[in-house]
Each structure stands twice: as structure tokens, then as C-alpha cells.
């Protein structure tokens, strides 16, 4: 009788541990999901701020285009057209990111950061060229 009592105690202990392990795994998964959502929300805020700064640079370039000479205006108009294309593409990516589930958004963040950096550099280069 004693071995079967030990066996029952072992089974009961295993079942209890299994439930705790599943609960811990579930808690860990929920914590990871919350952290991921928080990271995505932080990125959305950062990207909105960065995009506003880039939009301001583009607006300043458009103001400079007004009184520029014909040649400079033509060059500036071409640069502005290129920046507008990049800006539109980035805006579309940001909208996709905002609509994406946190798991998918997380994988999109690095791509959007790279495009943001490229657009920012293009706007800064253009501003430096047309001072």
C-alpha cells in the first residue's frame, strides 16, 4: 500500500507543478506582450515627433524655393519632389505600423527607423545645400 500512496503523492505533485508552470508561462507571455505593446507605443510617439521635425525642414525648404533663382528653384523643386515621395512612402509605412498587431509592428519598427533616418538625412542634406 505504501508504494501506491507514494505514487499518488508524486502524481498530485506533478499535476500541481504543471498548473503552476502553465500559469507562470501565461503570466510571462502576457508580460512580454504588454512590454511589446509599450515599446510599439513609444516608437509611435517617437516617430510622430521625428516626422514633425522632418516636415518642418521640408516646409522651410519650400519657403526658400519661392525667391530662389530659376536654376536654384528647379534644383530645389526636384529635391522637394524626391522628399515628398520619400515622405509619402514613410507615412504609408507608419499607418501600416499603427494598424498592425503589436507582434507584427515590432518587426516593422527597424524598417521604419531606417526609412526615417534616410528621409531625415535627405532633408538635412537638402537644407544644407540650399542655405
pLDDT digits (tens, 9 = 90+) for 53-65: 999 999 988 888 7
Q: HSE (CB half, 13 Å, CA atoms) of 90?
A: 24
Looking at every residue in the chain, the average pLDDT score rounds to 79
Helix (H, G, I), strand (E, B) or coil at 66: coil
Q: Judging by beta carbons within 10 Å of its beta carbon (0-12, 13-18, 19+), is residue 44 exposed, middle or buried?
A: middle
pLDDT bin (cut points 50, 70, 90) of residue 88 is very high
Q: Rounded distance, CA 119 to CA 115, Å?
A: 6
Tell me the CA distances in angstroms from 118 to 3, 100, 102, 121, one per residue in order: 71, 23, 24, 5
DSSP symbol at 130: T
pLDDT score of 85: 95
Higher pLDDT, 7 or 56: 56
**What's the predicted TM-score (pTM) here?**
0.65
Amino acid at each position: 500500500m505504501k508504494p501506491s500512496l507514494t505514487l499518488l503523492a508524486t502524481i498530485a505533485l506533478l499535476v500541481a507543478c504543471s498548473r503552476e508552470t502553465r500559469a507562470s508561462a501565461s503570466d510571462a507571455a502576457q508580460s512580454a506582450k504588454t512590454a511589446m505593446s509599450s515599446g510599439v507605443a513609444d516608437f509611435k510617439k517617437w516617430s510622430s515627433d521625428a516626422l514633425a521635425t522632418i516636415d518642418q525642414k521640408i516646409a522651410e525648404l519650400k519657403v526658400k524655393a519661392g525667391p530662389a533663382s530659376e536654376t536654384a528653384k528647379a534644383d530645389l523643386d526636384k529635391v522637394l519632389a524626391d522628399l515628398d515621395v520619400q515622405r509619402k512612402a514613410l507615412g504609408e509605412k507608419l499607418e501600416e505600423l499603427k494598424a498592425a498587431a503589436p507582434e507584427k509592428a515590432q518587426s516593422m519598427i527597424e524598417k521604419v527607423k531606417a526609412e526615417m533616418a534616410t528621409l531625415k538625412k535627405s532633408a538635412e542634406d537638402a537644407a544644407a545645400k540650399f542655405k
